[in-house]
Amino acid sequence: MSATDGVSRAMVSSVRPYGPIDSRILDEAADWLVRLHDQELSAAERADFERWHACSEAHRQAWARAELLMNQFGELSARWAMPVLDRPVRHAAASRRKVVAKLALLLAVAPAGWLGWRVVDTQGWSADMRTATGEQRRLTMADGSRLLLDTNTAVDIAFDSKQRLIHLRYGAISIETAPDPSGLQRSFAVQTSRGRLRALGTRFTVRSTEAAVHLAVTEGAVEVTLSGELAPHAVVQAGQQTELSKQGLAPLTPLSPPQQAWVHGMLMADALSLTDVCAELSRYRSGILQCAPEVAGLRVSGAYPLTDIDRALAMLEATYPIQVRQRWRGHWVTLLPR
């Protein structure tokens, strides 16, 4: 049973959550939303909620808007997540106040604000090729090169008489290049936000985040030209990896095979913290996936399927002293101590 199953759906659905609502009432609705998520209410507390809900039409509109907000959490990106359960107990009160304030702001602009969010969130729709959250896609390009798009990835492909270019907008790709069949000796390159990566007969992966672009080479070599520079900065050989960031090119380090397991649809964990495991699994699952502070530092080892996150969570629950708690129809998952 979800946290809001006790709320009268008929009452909520009959209310239109549009129009201006007093900020104080929105604050109260946000507070109830957090409480309903964060804990099981007692009978007295639920009666308090029902009285608050029935107090006025404005209260009912505010709660209908809160319901609308939660119904969207299966699509909202992680930056909208409520981080209450990620905070140590000593910071819980301050964290909750911040969460309520953020929620109240969201409630103030919903539902019109969804349009703005959708515009930002769907920038990749105009890309030549994209994948949804949890999807991986393989294809053979016109020149015979093979491309794998990881979850939530968007690319543009530009093959002409002078070059073979892939523009990685966001996400991660794996490339296995083929000799140019045209006879024009066109270079093969990946353009990223931090620079250009030219393949020298190779197989490599590229992952782009807001902070940096990670490059790992498994065969051949890749020539790196940083943004704003004309000459190549370095050549990364097979068995090496590096990162491109605002600070430049990080020192080359040995390739980490577990980091490449996503190419085969797996997460390979070798004494990873549960926090890191959750962060990686959450890239392949819509909604929110987090772990409670009490188990955040738990060390995890094993192989977990990225194509079936529910199965991966079940494997974790069966192996370690944790329990998987799902709320909001599975959109919000928290790993708790057993």
Most confident stretch, 127-131, 175-179, 326-330 = 175-179
Burial annotation 49-62 (CB, 10 A radius, 16+ → b, else e): beebbeeeebbbbb
pLDDT tens digits for 266-289? 999 999 999 999 999 999 998 889
Residue 74 above 70 pLDDT? no
Whole-structure pTM value: 0.66
Nearest of 335, 239, 265, 248 to residue 294 by alpha carbon: 335
Q: Which fold has domain 265-337?
A: Phage tail protein beta-alpha-beta fold (3.55.50)
Mean pLDDT, residues 226-254 taken together: 95
Query: What SS3 class is residue 161?
Result: coil
| Cα separation, 130 vs 170, whole angstroms | 9
Q: Identify the CATH class of 125-256.
A: mainly beta
pLDDT tens digits for 115-172? 444 444 444 555 678 899 999 999 988 889 999 999 999 999 988 888 999 999 999 9
Higher pLDDT, 27 or 312: 312
How is residue 243 written in tokens?
A: 């990162």
pLDDT tens digits for 204-235? 999 999 899 999 999 999 999 999 998 999 99
Is 63 within 8 Å of 83 (Cβ atoms)? Answer: no
pLDDT of residue 198: 97
**Extents of the domains making up the chain:** 9-119, 125-256, 265-337
DSSP state of 238: T
DSSP state of 110: T
H or E element at residue 78: none
Query: What SS3 class is residue 111?
Result: coil
Percent of the chain with pLDDT over 70: 73
pLDDT of residue 124: 52
Is 256 within 8 Å of 219 (Cβ atoms)? Answer: no
Is 168 within 8 Å of 206 (Cβ atoms)? Answer: yes
pLDDT of residue 83: 39
End-to-end CA distance of the chain: 19
Residue 255 above 60 pLDDT? yes
Residue 32: band (very low, low, confident or very high) from pLDDT cuts 50, 70, 90:
confident
| Cα separation, 241 vs 259, whole angstroms | 10
Residue 105: band (very low, low, confident or very high) from pLDDT cuts 50, 70, 90:
low
Higher pLDDT, 32 or 145: 145
Residue 15: band (very low, low, confident or very high) from pLDDT cuts 50, 70, 90:
very low
Residue 31: band (very low, low, confident or very high) from pLDDT cuts 50, 70, 90:
confident
pLDDT of residue 43: 79
Higher pLDDT, 75 or 199: 199
Residue 248 above 90 pLDDT? yes
Residue 38: band (very low, low, confident or very high) from pLDDT cuts 50, 70, 90:
low
Is 19 within 8 Å of 58 (Cβ atoms)? Answer: no
The CA distances from residue 261 to 64, 303, 306, 316, 335, in Å, are 43, 9, 10, 18, 23
DSSP 246-259: TTEEPPPEE--GGG
**Other beta carbons within 10 Å of 182:** 12
183-190 CB contacts, 8 Å cutoff, 24+ apart: 186/159, 186/161, 186/162, 187/163, 188/143, 188/145, 188/163, 188/164, 189/163, 189/164, 189/165, 190/165, 190/166
Rounded (5°) CA angle 160-146-277:
125
How is residue 78 written in tokens?
A: 């992680």
The rounded mean pLDDT for the chain is 80
Nearest of 317, 325, 320 to residue 287 by alpha carbon: 325
Looking at 37-41, 57-61, 145-149, 210-214, which range is the least confident one?
A: 37-41
Q: Are strands 129-130 and 154-159 parallel, antiparallel or unpaired?
A: antiparallel
The values of phi and psi at residue 194, to 5°, are: -110, 0
Is 153 within 8 Å of 170 (Cβ atoms)? Answer: yes
